Amino acid sequence: MKKLIGIILIISGISNAQSFEFSGYYENQLYPQIIKEKVVLQGHNKLRIDLSTDFMEDFVFNGDFIFLANYGAKSYKIQDFLPNNMNKELDGFISTLPEEIKQMAEKSLEIGMENRNYLDNAYITYYSDDFNFRIGKQQLAFGTGYTWNPTDIFNQKNVLDPTYEKEGISALKFEYKFSMMGKVTAIMALEENWKSSSKMINVKEHFGEFDINLNAAEYQINEIDFYNLSEVSNKEWQIGFSTSGQIFGTGIWIEGANYLREDDYNEYQALIGLDYTFENGLYLMSEFLINSRGSDDKDYSINDWLEYFERPNAVLGKSYLMVGERYQITDLINWENYVIYNLSDNSGVIYPSVTASLSNNTELSLMPYVPFGNDRSEFGEFKAGGIFRLKLYF
């Protein structure tokens, strides 16, 4: 509590000296879901405080701090979301381990819901006519896809809530504008040394009715090899491409990336998306994803699942189809409905959502989901649940 008061005093002290702009939101989220035939409740109270200031000519500071207090379930086990056959295999493997390693292995399969107070974003940007430079913990997002982003090496998306904000990444970002709509961006996301830091270069230009992006990146992938109880680090390179525009009045976006490693790993992910708005305002969208590193059938390994939970862009199947619709029921109520279907194992999830503006600054979102599919499939083992979110902006 003292710490909080201290932070507020420091902020208000600074704000007297500088013209800081404050904003933010309070969010209460409840996330009930059925796990092993029981309804498990988990939720959070989240307070985000944003501040920004032009502290010098052409220099801008932006930042936000998040206070996150969870309630309900304190942790999950990865086994809660795995198919039964895999749990049996996993339990069998764990039971063969020596006691001290067994505890370590069990701990590594836990997803803790810890309370956190953290600096979500804090960065300084220098703006000039031809280039910008940004240093600090900042948002880094790439790609034109809605549900998946093969070119995004920095973030992991929740397919059921893909537009939800992501935590910032500590990085240096340099942008050079070479035309009215074109720019080159160079990014270095800072890790403990040069080798493990992610490096990325992106070139963007607008041609006709299309925005076109080319990416090249080098980064480190840390993968858990559960059966050998080890973490394997590999250098990976990505060449990526994304575009968005329109053909015959229909929106179209394409995004793809090829991933290469020294150990002969050569995989790719690519997607194509289409959207259209009808005269009555009904908006339809569809995305099709192919993923060369996915499994053709539902024979996923524990390592596949661990990668699925940990790695950005990781999906289990070889191909997916997403179909969605959006319709504004009234000026204040928005309806959306999406279906994601894993074509490799014939499982999927339906997730409708309703967002209502309760007042100028209050929004309520109800996002239930219903998975379907057989045992051992990606979505088949999940049971119904939902996200209920109340957000008050200030």
Partner 1 sequence: MLRFFIIMIFVSSLGFSQDINVIEIIKKVDENEKYNSTKSEASQIITTSGGSKRTLSMKVYTKDRNDKQLTVYTGPARVKGDKILMLEDGDEIWFYTPKTDRVRHLASHAKRQSVQGSDFSYEDMASGNLEDDYTHKLIGEEEFNDSECYKIESVPTESGPSYSKVIIWVEKERYLTYRIDYHENDILLKRLICSDYEKLEDKWYPKKLFMKNLQDGGETIIKTNKIEINIDLSDKLFTTNYLKRR
Which residues lie closer than 8 Å to 146 by C-beta, 6 or more apart? Answer: 162, 273, 285, 287, 322, 324
Comparing CB distances to partner 1, the nearer of 236 and 275 is: 275
Cβ 342 vs Cβ 320: under 8 Å: yes
Q: Does 328 bind partner 1 (CB under 8 A)?
A: yes
Exposure on the CB side of residue 91, measured as CA atoms within 13 A:
10
Q: Does 165 bind partner 1 (CB under 8 A)?
A: yes
H/E segment holding residue 304 = helix 302-310
Comparing CB distances to partner 1, the nearer of 258 and 277 is: 277
Q: Does 167 bind partner 1 (CB under 8 A)?
A: no
Least distance to partner 1 from the beta carbon of 180, Å?
5
Q: Looking at residue 37, what DSSP letter applies?
A: T
Q: Does 251 bind partner 1 (CB under 8 A)?
A: yes
Exposure on the CB side of residue 194, measured as CA atoms within 13 A:
0
Which residues lie closer than 8 Å to 94 by C-beta, 6 or more apart? Answer: 102, 105, 106
Comparing CB distances to partner 1, the nearer of 19 and 23 is: 23
Comparing CB distances to partner 1, the nearer of 209 and 263 is: 209
Q: Which residue of 102, 116, 177, 293 would you call a contact of partner 1, by CB under 8 A?
A: 177
Least distance to partner 1 from the beta carbon of 242, Å?
11
DSSP-assigned letters across all residues of 170-208: EEEEEEEE-SSS-EEEEEEE--SSTTTSEEEEEEEEEET
Q: Does 15 bind partner 1 (CB under 8 A)?
A: no
Comparing CB distances to partner 1, the nearer of 53 and 258 is: 53
Interaction pattern, residues 91-130, with partner 1; x per rule: CB under 8 A: ----------------------------------x-x-x-
Comparing CB distances to partner 1, the nearer of 125 and 344 is: 125
Q: Does 195 bind partner 1 (CB under 8 A)?
A: no
- One-letter amino acid for residue 29 of the chain: Q
Least distance to partner 1 from the beta carbon of 50, Å?
9
Comparing CB distances to partner 1, the nearer of 245 and 368 is: 245
Site for partner 1 in 43-62 (CB under 8 A): 52, 60, 62
Backbone angles phi, psi at 182, to 5 degrees: -110, 150
Least distance to partner 1 from the beta carbon of 200, Å?
16
| Nearest residue to 145 via CA among 253, 58, 227, 238 | 253
Cα–Cα distances in Å, from 235 out to 124, 206, 211, 223, 273?
30, 32, 30, 11, 30
Stretch that binds partner 1, among 214-222, 242-250, 291-299, 308-316 (CB under 8 A): 242-250
Strand partners, 66: 48, 118
Measured CA to CA, the distance from residue 238 to residue 149 in angstroms comes to 13
Handedness of CA 158, 320, 306, 92 (dihedral sign): positive
Site for partner 1 in 212-231 (CB under 8 A): none
Interface with partner 1 (CB under 8 A): 23-25, 52, 60, 62, 125, 127, 129, 132, 139, 141, 163, 165, 175, 177, 180-181, 183, 206, 209, 211, 244-246, 249-252, 275-279, 281, 283, 328, 330-332, 334, 357, 359-361, 363, 393-394
